[in-house]
Structure 1
Amino acid sequence: MLTYQDVMTTDYGRLLTAADKWQSMAEELRKVEERYRDSVQKIHTSGNWAGVSAATALTNFAATRYEYQAAQTQAKATATLLRNGHQQLTELKKSLEAARDDAVKAGMSVSGQGAVAFDYDRLSAAEKSAARHDPDYMTSVRTAEQAWREYIKECVKAVDEADKDLRKDLEAVVKDGPGGKGDGTPGTGFNAQAGEVAKADDAQKQDRMDLAWLKMRDDETIDDYVERLQKEGLTRLTSNPKLAELVSNVSKTTVTAGAFASALTVAGMNSWKLQNYFKDVKAGNFPKAFTAPGTFVPRTANARLAGGAPGGLLARLPPNVTGVLTGSDEAAMWGGQMKNGRFFLPTAAEANLVTVARQGGAMNALKAAGAMRGLGVVGGVAGTVYGVANLATYDTDMIKKDPAKFATDVTGTAFSASMTALTVAPNPITAGLAVGTGVAYGAALIWDNHEAIGKGLEKAGHSLAGGAKKLGSALNPFD
């Protein structure tokens, strides 16, 4: 079996070099065959040769020319197999390289021989100490290491299986069987049927590239369709269904864990903000304004720019450059309004973009949002539209078949819509909607993916208990 090192260090370009030489050989054999036909084989047609020897020569000459023709077929078929093999092995090597890179990003080290181990050198002294003194932590480390080992092992196995298939075809292409008319050496000459082997290999290649499977089926939601595309696409590309299933599961787990964490985070943070808001209202204090999601960096940049020294780095930037990215506090003032008996002037992170647009025009709304918040709005709208389109593909039978998945899609779309509303117009109402839909979405995800989420929460709990956040991220091979 091929090893990780074999796959990574082999020069697959030599297959193309060999294929070119086999193709050239076929051309040279064609020339030899034509010369033989015109100079040797036609001797018996001159009329000066008769008798038993002439009859024997006729048979032998035909057999020799047949072998020249068979040799051409065999050479061309070999060239085709080598080119197809080069394409598949190169693509599979790229998959292995991607798996290695993902493992490294997740906190692993991968040696030149493919050995996978957690990279403790990335941790600080405090993080290393926390890891050593927490048995559950170390269990999670070993689990993550094993998951990445299996992932990389499957990628290597896919290359090995493709290599074995290529070897099998190359061995088949040189086996001479009973030929057609003129074959005087069945079983010991060149294979005139070699083209059938190459044709079958080409058919497999074409099947991997066939676009008919890209059509959406009647019983699929858009999510189902996308998941199937991923699986079938990788299966056709690699001819390895097991690897395709593994990659699909990794991707699905990543999305599920990320969505679950996002829903819980949004629900928790906005619940805390709402609690403080109503506490201030009850006490008769002016409540703190809500900020749009994802505006922590813009708020920090704007605050430092406002309070920065004249010669500071931010002050040296060209006028309005920071505002274009983080939002303009001046433009946000168009969103000023009476709140609880006082006139409130929002910052860029607090502004209701709808109010700014209504009172100051769409251009000021764009300036108040800035590029960072604006991208969040665009992404939220796109996600909501996708969710609605996905829900539209459901019918009654599909809902009955998998109610948990339907509930996840419904609540996920509602969560996306509420987050978009909160990004556009941060206030107690949109924050409350975000909390409600976030809790519902999280509950639906638990219902639909309780096993995967349970593992993810266990690892996250170990991470927080140990106080090493980046180790917690690295422990999850599907993060």
Structure 2
Amino acid sequence: MLTYYEVMTTDFGSLSDAADKWQEMADEFHKVERRYRDGVQKITKGQAWLGESARAAHTKFAATRYEYQAAQTQAKATATLLRNAHQQFVELRKQLETARADAVKAGMKVSEQGKVAYDYDRLSPSESSAARLNPTHAASVNASVDAWADFIRLCVKAFDDADQDLKRDLEAVVKDGKGNKNDGTAGTGFNGDAGQVAKSDGAQKRARHDPDWFKKRDDETLDDYMERLRRDGVTRLTGSAQLGDLVNAVTKGTMTAGAFALVTGTSVTYSFNLMSHFKSDKALNAPGTLVSRFANTQLAGTAPGSVLSRVPPGLVTAMTGSDEAAMYGAFMKNGTFVIPAASEANLIRVARGGGLAQAGKAAGWIRGAGVVGGAAGTVYGVANLSTYDGDKIKADPAKFASDLSGTAFSGSMTALTVAPNPVTAGLALGTGVVYGGALIWDNHEAIGKGMGEAKDWVGDRTKDLGSGIASGAKKFKDVANPFD
């Protein structure tokens, strides 16, 4: 691994000079290739030389010209890699220089080797003695020193990661592939595909500097786009692509687990609720009202003078829903006038009888938030489905099935929250079963893989975590953020 001293003292100008030389070499290869084409290869294409030897020469000459072309590609790619590395190294050293300057301003001193210590020389003898002998102050100083040391170490590590990336790219550039058309030296000649390595490196460079990285791409669904933002956002903020992949994997696994738990719970709950309804005509309650019903039951039985009796009734009603407002949703059933509780009320029926204001009171904040969230989720799901086309569906039918059934489930749950009845409950139950199956099909490995990667990542880095890593990493995040 590179050291702080090497990063701070190395002359990166030689990279730029070397890039110019590689470009000059590519230009010279181009000249030689043109001369070879016009002066040598040309003779195999006329009528003056015919027969078996001409055909053999044609193949050999084409292979030789290919190598001249591949040499140009390899030289140009090498020049591109060196220029990109020069720019990135200059930027990363500037970050390290800024880190050192900030540490000095914070009362530290940083040696030529990058060692961080508290600068007691700034203090008077009496202040220095008091600072060393006061346990609280000494602990604070040690924590600060550790944080700045970790921060500087992370900056050096970011530089070393970039250096290792350059090494891998340069090694890849010089490896000849299995052969393209006219390649007669497969595996032993120049790399005609070296441009792909340079292209990938250039894409990474643009990603580091392009403020439009957050724009949606044509080949992305809305879900793909959100996943990329989550992954790349962490990468940009921390400077660690591996951490970005980790967070994305764990988040995706957690979201999948949460969605599966929701559909499973909904399916089980409303299976029993529907059976109870059809057997005993028991009223159906809207999703998300369990807490409201529990709170109302507890408050109804509260003893005078207790803590719960002092809760303002208006606050409870605003949160859990108003039974008085729910009366606007009363209806006739089998010759009987039914007055629903707030958790049972059909909000559409309440709105028809008493207006939107009464519907809002009957819903309460908790149920109202469920309606708004469900509607937003459904709108997002529809928007995501609109980004699919035939090719995307063929490429990943499991994901499309998951997104489609998930949107249907979100819509049916919103309908059930607004109007709890056997029809909406049946729809929620049916779409939930389908969505659960689609989740298993699409994401059966997501949770295990995400947690496995988390375990490996944390395990590999446990030895790197010092007492001040949190504050140091936060400082590094601020410096590494290209938008600051």
Which range, TM-score by smaller chain?
A: 0.5 to 0.7
Structure 1 residue 77: Cα displacement: 10
1: CA distance between counterparts of 2:330 and 2:432? 29
Separation of aligned partners in 2, 1:77 and 1:161? 11
2:70 aligns to what? none
Instruction: Give 1:251 shift.
Output: 0.7
Cα deviation, residue 335, structure 1? 1.1
Secondary structure of 2:400's counterpart equals helix
Residue aligned with 2:282, SS: coil
Kept in 2: contact 1:263–1:438 (CA 8 A): yes
Structure 2 residue ranges without an equivalent (≥5):
3-7, 9-90, 103-149, 164-203, 451-484
* C-alpha distance in structure 1 between counterparts of 2:440 and 2:421, whole Å: 28
Q: Which residue of 2 aligns with 1:83?
A: 98
Distance 1:312 1:339, change over 3 A: farther
Aligned equivalents of 2:346, 2:161: Cα separation in 1? 67
1:5-404 to structure 2, matched below 5 A, reads 81-83=96-98, 162-166=155-159, 208=208, 210-280=210-280, 287-404=281-398
Paired position in structure 1 for 2:427? 433
Q: Structure 1 residue 414: deviation in Å?
A: 0.5
**SS of the residue 2:340 aligns to:** coil
Q: Aligned ranges for residues 442-461 of structure 1 at < 5 Å?
A: 442-452=436-446
Q: CA shift at 1:351, angstroms?
A: 0.7
1:428–1:454 Cα change, 3 Å: farther
Deviation at 1:250, TM superposition (A): 0.5
One-letter amino acid matched to 1:367: K
Identity of aligned residues (%): 59
Q: Provide, for residues 313-359 of structure 1, a one-character-per-residue CA deviation record: whole Å limited to 9, x for no partner.
A: 33323341110111111111111112233221111111111111111
Structure 1 residues 5-53: Cα deviation after superposition (integer angstroms, max 9, x where no partner): xxxxxxxxxxxxx9xxxxxxxxxxxxxxxxxxxxxxxxxxxxxxxxxxx
Q: CA–CA distance in 2 between the matches of 1:352 and 1:391? A: 29
| 8 Å Cα contact 2:231/2:245 also seen in 1 | yes
Give the C-alpha shift of residue 160 in structure 1.
Answer: 5.8
Q: SS where residue 332 of structure 2 aligns?
A: strand
Q: What letter matches 1:227 in structure 2?
A: E
Tell me if the contact between 1:223 and 1:390 (Cα under 8 Å) persists in the aligned partners. yes
Letter in 1 for 2:322: S
Deviation at 1:302, TM superposition (A): 1.6
Q: Give me the whole-angstrom Cα distance separating, in 2, the residues matched to 1:164 and 1:440.
A: 47
The 2-side partners of 1:165 and 1:85 are apart by 15
Q: Deviations over 1:375-395 (max 9, x none)?
A: 010000000000000001111
- Counterpart residue type for residue 255 of structure 1: M
Matched, 1:414 2:429: no
Cα distance in 2 for residues equivalent to 1:77 and 1:273: 61
Report the RMSD for the aligned CA atoms in angstroms: 3.4
Deviation at 1:439, TM superposition (A): 0.2
Deviation at 1:399? 0.6
Q: What CA distance in whole angstroms lies between the structure 1 residues aligned with 2:397 and 2:101? A: 45
Partners of 2:447 and 2:340 lie apart in 1 by 39
Task: For residues 412-470 of structure 1, give each alpha carbon's deviation from its aligned partner in whole angstroms, at most 9, with x where no partner exists.
Answer: 000000110111111111110010010000000011012346899xxxxxxxxxxxxxx
CA deviation profile, 1:266-316 (whole Å, cap 9, x unmatched): 011101111121222xxxxxx110001111111111222233334333332
> Cα 1:338–1:168, aligned 2, differ >3 Å: closer, same or farther?
closer
Distance 1:78 1:386, change over 3 A: closer
Indicate conservation of the 8 Å contact 1:158/1:240, yes or no.
no
Amino acid at match of 2:156: D
Contact 2:253–2:448 (CA<8 Å) still a contact in 1? no
CA distance in structure 2 between the partners assigned to 1:332 and 1:86 by the alignment:
65
Structure 2 Cα separation of the partners of residues 363 and 409 of structure 1 = 34
C-alpha separation in 2, matches of 1:298 and 1:310? 21
For this pair of structures, how many residues does the alignment match? 278
Structure 1 residue 205: Cα displacement: 9.7
Cα 1:344/1:241, change in 2 over 3 Å: same
CA distance in 2, matches of 1:84, 1:340: 77
Q: Tell me, what secondary structure is at the counterpart of 2:444?
A: helix
Separation (CA, whole Å) in 2 of partners of 1:453 and 1:440: 20
Please give the per-residue CA displacement for 1:210-248, whole angstroms capped at 9, x wherever unaligned.
322111111111100011112222223333322211111
In the alignment, is the contact (CA less than 8 A) between 1:387 and 1:412 conserved in 2? Answer: yes
Question: Counterparts of 2:209 and 2:321 in 1: how far apart (Å)?
Answer: 46
Between the aligned partners of 2:95 and 2:335, the Cα distance in structure 1 is 81
How big is each residue's C-alpha offset from its partner over 1:99-152, in whole Å with a ceiling of 9 and x where there is no partner?
xxxxxxxxxxxxxxxxxxxxxxxxxxxxxxxxxxxxxxxxxxxxxxxxxxxxxx
Q: Distance in 2 between matches of 1:371 and 1:256?
A: 27
Partner secondary structure for residue 337 of structure 2: strand
Are the equivalent residues in 1 in contact too, given 2:249–2:449 (CA < 8 A)? no
Judge conservation of contact 1:331–1:368 (CA < 8 Å) in 2.
yes
Q: Is the 8 A contact 1:327 1:369 kept in 2?
A: yes
Aligned equivalents of 2:288, 2:266: Cα separation in 1: 11
Q: Counterpart of 1:257 in structure 2: which amino acid?
A: A
Deviation, structure 1 residue 161: 6.1
8 A contact 1:376–1:423 mirrored in 2: yes
Q: What CA distance in whole angstroms lies between the structure 2 residues aligned with 1:416 and 1:260?
A: 13
Which residue identity lines up with residue 300 of structure 1 in the other structure? F
Would you say the 8 A contact 1:81–1:169 is kept in 2? Answer: no
Mapped to 1, the partners of 2:205 and 2:97 lie a distance apart of 13
Letter of the 2:328 counterpart: W
- The residue number in structure 1 matching 2:458 is none
Q: TM-score, length-normalised on structure 1?
A: 0.53
Given that 1:84 and 1:205 are in contact with CA atoms closer than 8 Å, whether structure 2 keeps it comes out as: no
